[in-house]
A and B are shown apart, each in its own frame.
Chain A
């Protein structure tokens, strides 16, 4: 954790600006693109939804800041040797905001709702997996059984919100105030879409989970999450006093807070794939491994980081980024920045330099002679990284074309396999994300395996990931998979985006989660 502090005189905040902030009212500014579509984490597939849910309802298990699982609404758990049966003991005496008791039946009702087809859960259902049976034993005993090993259940449950079954029963679809009745430190008050979400303290909160330092209700009176669409504005709301906290502060605006004793910046990497670009290997020019390797050798990510982000982004050199627990460091050595080698590979592949310094085909299979070497770089955001690569690759004669595509277009291009380089980011400290992106079983509509690459050996390694308990053993498998992916040059790593959180001096006891996209307000208070 980088808490950056030093001393420069600060500008006195004018209380007249915006909404005057009372003590105990925490105002968090977030990028507008973090605003969920729905706020029901049973349905919605976004990290931000689950995060906001975690303020309203505690999950069964909590992923602590140190990366271990600690008790939430479950006090203990165990899994059978074959990885197919999970047993949980639940906390006693917990109630939902509507006074209904929290017990094993309530957990069962929640899990059944997530898995019901009519819920149309976009993500949680596949994370929890196909449960064979759920058995309850009294108020606090719960056993979940699978037909095949499912060792990743805790990672799914840490994000699964628990809502009051009685409230769910009575709520109309989409009526968030009626649905979001949890057991957590804050009660849901209101959501004005494209503007803000407001929560207020629940006075009967037990504070009984392992994340709470003190029993009883939390120290904040209310939380307002404001969604800010303009990044320049997001970079300034702390300074203008319009928010006490900025979640995902744009790195370019961090300067004014870095050496200022009135603010604290926390930076946390997001374990996952980084901002990776996957390659379409099923058609020219990227069906030739030499061209793919040339792309990897012709870009310099570190230079892009310095140029664009003052070096504040993090390195990502392979299918899992460099901060991932299962990162394979051989990836970086395999493709150092080496334009000469890139040029030699391209010559070898039949892409020869034309008069204008750009390459054209000469005797390339399936390509008409004279066709320019054009590679599309299709991304949802961070196109500036592509623009730096574009300049770097031009020096070896590759014409990189940057295009920003909206989500629907991205999925459409992927389905038609009409792309060369396509942005595809997954974020999780689990190596299972490799399975989703690289297992050819998921090369189907709605699947995440986009490259068209199929390798039985790679699939076999990835298939084993779900059944292995031991973290070290899973990382060994993940390393094998990463080696195959990099040897075949199937993706172009770029950089990894850290999450920077800015706080003003009044905020105390704020806790960042183990991942950049998570935080806790259980122990947070605001001083005058």
Chain B
């Protein structure tokens, strides 16, 4: 297991280098000049070419592109992602300051997805072919195909404007987390429900399930003890991938609910061409995403002893 872990961690390195290269290149290929942007957006006031050049010099934009890239990588290895052009504070500080809120939202969304998706999928599997199955699957299709933006506004309309139960904007409190978490979670709930249903149905035909039933165990026991654990393997993979989708979904959700978070930070940074901030934040998210998937792979071993790693 230790060796497997080490080799998996080493495999992350080329992926991260590739991510950093892509982000670095894309930011520089996009139109716009950060120095010009910093000096514009103002309510008038002429910008002289001299001032523009001064600012470019300060931002290190006059260095050769390769030098800029290596500086970025060398810093990143040491945990220094540079300073944000706009905020003038270390990028790491900004990311860590925002990530808590985004993680909170993504985890809450995942919990909502599990709390709704799992029972729905199991119920549909247990009542395969009946009206309950049809209803559960219809719900999950509706859930997974709703645009986040629209769903978020609908929930705000109902629970904030009409019923006045929950706040419509802002972060920082548990109350304010409920609506965004549901907005985000309902989408994944639909996907999870369908997967659990098909996974459970597949497991139901396995030999060990027949054996368990033949032993005279309660049907509920069979489903939970033997069926569910095995059915969870593909579901777990899905959850790893869904967590990535959830992280991506936070961008829109954070915008709709005016929550502070990494998603909005990145969008703003892209619009203002804040190179160091975009590079740093995306690299950070890539690491998080890779680590989540690594954790999922390790969980396999625990769930399914048949999987032999590293041999």
Residues of A within 8 A of B (CB): 14, 16-19, 29, 32, 37-38, 45-47, 117-118, 120, 122-123, 126-127, 173-175, 192-196, 226-230, 232-233, 236-237, 239-242, 272, 406-409, 411-413, 415, 426-428, 432-433, 436, 441-442, 444-448
Contact = CB atoms under 8 A, between A and B. Distances in A.
B147 interface: no
B43 A18 contact: no
Given A37-B272, A120-B58, A436-B46, A230 B153 contact: yes
Nearest to B272: A37
A120 B45 CA distance: 13
A239 B165 CA distance: 13
A240 B45 contact: no
A46 B160 CA distance: 32
10 contacts: A37-B272, A120-B58, A122-B45, A123-B45, A230-B255, A233-B256, A240-B160, A436-B44, A444-B49, A446-B52
Given A236-B168, A242-B168, A407-B41, A447 B47 contact: yes
B133 interface: no
B46 A240 contact: no
A150 to B, nearest CB: 14
Nearest to B152: A230
A434 to B, nearest CB: 10
A174 B87 contact: yes
- Of listed B46, B49, B265, residue having the most chain A CB within 10 A: B46
Contacts of B226: none
Contact of A448 (B32, B46, B256, B271): B46
B46 A192 contact: no
A54 B39 CA distance: 21
A242 B159 CA distance: 14
Interface residues of B, number: 62
Contacts of B171: 192, 195
B48 interface: yes
Given A174-B88, A241-B164, 7 more contacts: A19-B170, A122-B39, A123-B44, A193-B94, A229-B257, A407-B37, A412-B33
B170 A436 contact: no
A230 B169 contact: yes
Contact of A240 (B36, B47, B164): B164
Nearest to B58: A120
Contact of A120 (B54, B168, B257, B271): B54
A175 to B, nearest CB: 7
Contacts, number: 194
Given A230-B258, A233-B169, A436 B164 contact: no
B170 A127 contact: no
A127 B49 CA distance: 17
B43 A45 contact: yes
A527 to B, nearest CB: 22
Interface string B154-179: 00100011001111111111011000
B276 to A, nearest CB: 13
B38 interface: yes
B119 interface: no
Contacts of B40: 45, 122, 407, 411, 446
Contact of A446 (B36, B44, B87, B161): B36
A448 B44 contact: yes
A45 B156 contact: no
B273 interface: yes
Contacts of B49: 444-446
Given A118-B58, A230-B258, A237-B169, A411 B37 contact: yes
Contact of B254 (A194, A272, A411): A194
Nearest to A47: B43
Contact of A123 (B42, B54, B98, B156): B42
A194 B261 contact: yes
Contacts of A432: 44
A120 B38 contact: yes
B46 A126 contact: yes
Given A175-B89, A409-B31, A446-B49, A426 B43 contact: yes
Per CB-CB distance, the 4 closest pairs between chain A and chain B, nearest first, are A408-B32, A446-B47, A45-B42, A174-B88
Interface string B84-97: 10111100001001
A47 B41 CA distance: 10
